[in-house]
């Protein structure tokens, strides 16, 4: 397992020099975050990102993410030009040595939370989501800035997009995903890139907008739509673990046995009600996800791909990007490294 750490580029408050000091960390997960969805990534900027990462002794293990344009998700006539741009970006990333690309197919919003600093009993704070606190009108008008992505649009445009997605529905969104994968996966396979779709976060509809990638059956259907070995999954224990309906060990085993496990996010959540949770520390005892069991399964699968701790608590007075402080994610990576070493020792009969 290639333990990695997300880095948001030169403007990230967490510098690569600090990440170098985390025991067990060998890779960096990053992207060209300033490039708008639908545009081809400049080759010189891709090379510079790789250079910055490698100059600190890391490998750029995953590009997370190459965003999918809304016209592709909505099946609009302009989607073909955006798909062509996506294909070209994959070719350029492969040319620069990148072999794993994470993306998601969440309409309008990326991951969503209702609190950026939910207080925990130990004095730290974390991201949290309470479904009954989602204020649709405040969100769409911009009066309330929830921690979501792709929200820098005027309220009227957001309402039109909301209505369009509601009309398209689950099956329409599945049609869009199928069209995208059948066009993009062959290119990824040709250039040696593994695509890793990230589960919807949270894994249920928000403000009536469909979300289709959140259950075991979702992945199975996706593989039936596009059987390319390039078509794989980013297993996110936090996103999938937000609902008790998901059997995380079974999903992880199945993805591994199908050879479609292309990337892993290991973080914990504490479910505190129906469609409500907060992000706990990474330890199994702190949340609703048995992290030790998941890492043991990865060890039995002899998983050799990239994995990273995901969102962490904000501890010891740290400020910065919510969920992406240094301290708790560093503790999380060290904990995961310990679980991995112990699990591999058992698997290989060294203890």
Q: Which of 265, 278, 282, 335 is catalytic?
A: 265
Residue 236 CB: number of other CB atoms within 10 A?
Answer: 25
- What pLDDT, in 10s, does the model give residues 183-242? 999 999 999 999 999 999 999 999 999 999 999 999 999 999 999 999 999 999 999 999
Number of structural domains the chain divides into: 1
Backbone φ/ψ region at 239: left (φ over 0), alpha (ψ -120 to 50), beta: alpha
**pLDDT at residue number 300:** 97
Q: What is the CATH number of the domain that holds 47?
A: 3.20.20.150
Report pTM. Answer: 0.96
Q: Of the candidates 313, 318, 306, 205, which has an alpha carbon nearest to the alpha carbon of residue 264? A: 306
Q: Which of 103, 278, 324, 335 is catalytic?
A: 324
Residue 216 known to be catalytic: no
pLDDT interval class at 288 (50, 70, 90) = very high
Residue 324 known to be catalytic: yes
Residue 332: asked if its preceding bond is cis (omega within 30°), the reply is: no
Separation between Cα atoms, residue 267 and residue 246, nearest integer Å = 15
User: Residue 14 belongs to what domain range?
Assistant: 2-347
Q: Which of 25, 102, 226, 236 is catalytic?
A: 236
Query: For helices 248-257 and 216-225, what crossing angle results, to 10°?
Result: 20
Q: Which of 198, 200, 201, 226 is catalytic?
A: 198
- Determine whether 286 is exposed, middle or buried from the number of CB atoms within 10 Å of its CB (0-12, 13-18, 19+): middle
The stretch 32-36 carries a mean pLDDT of: 95
Q: Which of 103, 118, 311, 335 is catalytic?
A: 311
Sort strands 276-279 and 269-273 into parallel, antiparallel or unpaired.
antiparallel
The stretch 90-112 carries a mean pLDDT of: 95
Residue 265 known to be catalytic: yes
Residue 132 known to be catalytic: no
Residue 179 known to be catalytic: no
**pLDDT at residue number 145:** 63
State the Rg of the chain over Cα.
19
Residue 102 known to be catalytic: no
- What pLDDT, in 10s, does the model give residues 231-276? 999 999 999 999 999 999 999 999 999 999 999 999 999 999 889 9
pLDDT interval class at 142 (50, 70, 90) = low
**pLDDT at residue number 146:** 61
- What pLDDT, in 10s, does the model give residues 83-97? 999 999 999 999 999
């Amino acid at each position: 397992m290639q333990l990695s750490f997300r880095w948001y580029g030169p403007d990230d408050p967490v510098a690569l020099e600090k990440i170098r000091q985390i025991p067990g960390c060998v890779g960096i997960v990053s992207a060209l975050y300033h490039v708008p969805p639908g545009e081809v990534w400049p080759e010189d900027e891709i090379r510079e990102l790789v250079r910055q990462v490698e100059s600190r002794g890391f490998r750029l293990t995953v590009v997370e993410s190459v965003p999918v344009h809304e016209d592709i998700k909505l099946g609009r006539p302009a989607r073909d030009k955006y798909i062509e741009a996506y294909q070209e970006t994959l070719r350029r990333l492969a040319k620069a040595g990148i072999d794993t690309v994470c993306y998601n197919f969440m309409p309008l919003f990326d991951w969503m939370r209702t609190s950026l600093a939910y207080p925990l009993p130990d004095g730290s704070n974390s991201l949290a989501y309470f479904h009954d606190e989602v204020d649709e009108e405040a969100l769409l008008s911009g009066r309330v800035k929830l921690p979501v992505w792709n929200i820098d649009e005027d309220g009227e445009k957001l309402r039109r997009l909301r209505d369009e997605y509601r009309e398209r529905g689950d099956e329409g969104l599945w049609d869009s995903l199928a069209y995208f994968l059948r066009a993009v996966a062959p290119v990824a396979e040709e250039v040696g890139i593994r695509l890793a779709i990230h589960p919807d976060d949270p894994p249920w509809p928000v403000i009536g907008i469909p979300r289709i990638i959140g259950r075991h059956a979702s992945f199975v259907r996706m593989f039936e739509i596009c059987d390319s070995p390039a078509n794989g999954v980013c297993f996110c224990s936090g996103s999938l673990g937000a609902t008790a309906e998901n059997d995380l060990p079974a999903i992880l085993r199945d993805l591994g046995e199908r050879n479609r496990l292309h990337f892993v996010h290991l973080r914990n959540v504490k479910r505190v009600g129906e469609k409500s949770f907060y992000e706990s520390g990474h330890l199994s005892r702190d949340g609703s996800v048995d992290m030790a069991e998941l890492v043991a399964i990865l060890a039995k699968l002899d998983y050799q791909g990239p994995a990273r701790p995901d969102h962490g608590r904000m501890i010891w007075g740290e400020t910065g990007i919510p969920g992406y402080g240094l301290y708790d994610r560093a503790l999380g990576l060290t904990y995961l490294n310990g679980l991995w070493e112990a699990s591999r020792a058992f698997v290989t009969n060294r203890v």
